[in-house]
Amino acid sequence: MPRIDLIETTLLDIPTIRGHVLSMTTMTAQSVVLVRVRFDDGSEGIGEGTSIGGLSYGGESAESIKLAIDHYIGPALMGHDGNDINGAIGIIERTVRGNPIARCAVEIALWDGLGRRLGVPVAQLFGGAVRPAMPVAWTLASGNSTTDIAEAEAMIEARRHNIFKLKIGKRDLKSDIAHVGAICAAVGDRASIRVDVNQAWDLATARRGVAMLEEIGVELAEQPVRAEFLRDLKALTDTSRLSIMADEVLQGPIDAMRVAANRSADVFAVKIGQSGGLRRGSEVIAIGQAAGLGLYGGTMLEAGVSTAAALQLFSTVETLHWGTELFGPLLLKDEILAEPIRYADFCVHLPQGPGIGVALDPDKVRFYRRDRGATLAPTGS
């Protein structure tokens, strides 16, 4: 049996193509934690942990992800059977509380290593892919209506995206509605428009905002209220004709059960990092399916490694009612994969090959690493 004999992390800082405006911060770069797990039979696997906007968004930052892996998760897994991923998940969850992105990053590398050893894609380990490509949204988040309209028009013309999510909540409600309305009017019925409020509204504002969004043609509103206020999310879901999507409230299957139990949302935004890994992400999906909720493949604005891993999981889901937003690599100014994930015909395409189906570009990793010292060796494709 292949034993784990090395878990190595490397921190990268990659600029974004433009400022990405959220309700709590504006991102001009993305910090990515790459993970390499080596096994004593010579095989390897790669993983990634990435958060949105650091600690302004949630409880993890790139620095905390690296620390949790280097000082807690990594030492706990040394010598463990690399084929026993369920056992490894148990060890990780007993070793650290919370830290779902850190746990996910290591788990991705374990699945990647197993898939490579078996010569099969990770999707096969979750029952097999039922789709080679998935609809993919693009987030319009410059904060400027003219810029966002031009960006949307270019995406539609290139047949790259015809689903657009707008980040709102940073400005006053009237300004946000005017901004969204301008984009809805510009694209008309050529695209689906959704909004993500990132928990910025209280219930009273959310009720007014959701009603106004419905009037201008928006189809879905993501996490309008704070994650801890589940009653407010349910109140909004119960009274709105606009579909309400749970995001930040979903920190794994236990939260998914809470949301599904009294239908506090219409849709689950499932994120493998936020769920704590592919295994727990698959459980969130199963709960959503059992409750009859819509499903959406969410992103933490990850680079190519975690995006590829998410695609492996979501390719096995029979019905993705709302598509995906796995566009993270496209937001970055540069690509760290040897062969980029393909985006075409309004879809993101499942990488082919064993494991998660991608390999790193070692030169790009060297260039963007925060510490320019030791080099993360590449893994084979």
Catalytic residues: 167, 325
Separation CA 330–CA 319 (nearest Å): 25
Query: Phi/psi class of residue 199: alpha, beta or left (left: φ > 0; alpha: ψ in -120 to 50)?
Result: left
Tokens of 129: 């892919």
Query: From the CB of residue 210, how many other CB atoms can be counted at a distance below 10 Å?
Result: 24
> What b/e readout covers 29-67, taking b as 16+ CB neighbours within 10 angstroms?
ebbbbbbbbbbeeebbbbbbbbbbbbeebbebbbebbbb
Contact 34, 305 (CB under 8 A): yes
In degrees, rounded to 5, the angle at the alpha carbon of residue 364 between the alpha carbons of residues 360 and 365 is: 65
In degrees, rounded to 5, the angle at the alpha carbon of residue 328 between the alpha carbons of residues 322 and 331 is: 120
> Could you write out the DSSP letters of every residue in 4-30?
EEEEEEEEEEEEEEEEEE-SS-EEEEE
Residue 272 host element (H or E):
helix 272-275
Contact 61, 300 (CB under 8 A): no
Tokens of 62: 């790139």
Taking CB atoms within 8 Å and a gap of at least 24, the contacts of 344-348 are: 344/159, 344/160, 345/133, 345/159, 346/135, 346/136, 346/159, 346/160, 346/161, 346/162, 346/163, 347/133, 347/134, 347/135, 347/136, 348/133, 348/134, 348/136, 348/307, 348/311, 348/324
Collapsing DSSP states into helix, strand and coil, what is residue 303?
Answer: coil
Determine the distance from the C-alpha atom of residue 130 to the mean position of all C-alpha atoms in its chain, rounded to a whole number.
20
Separation CA 357–CA 342 (nearest Å): 12
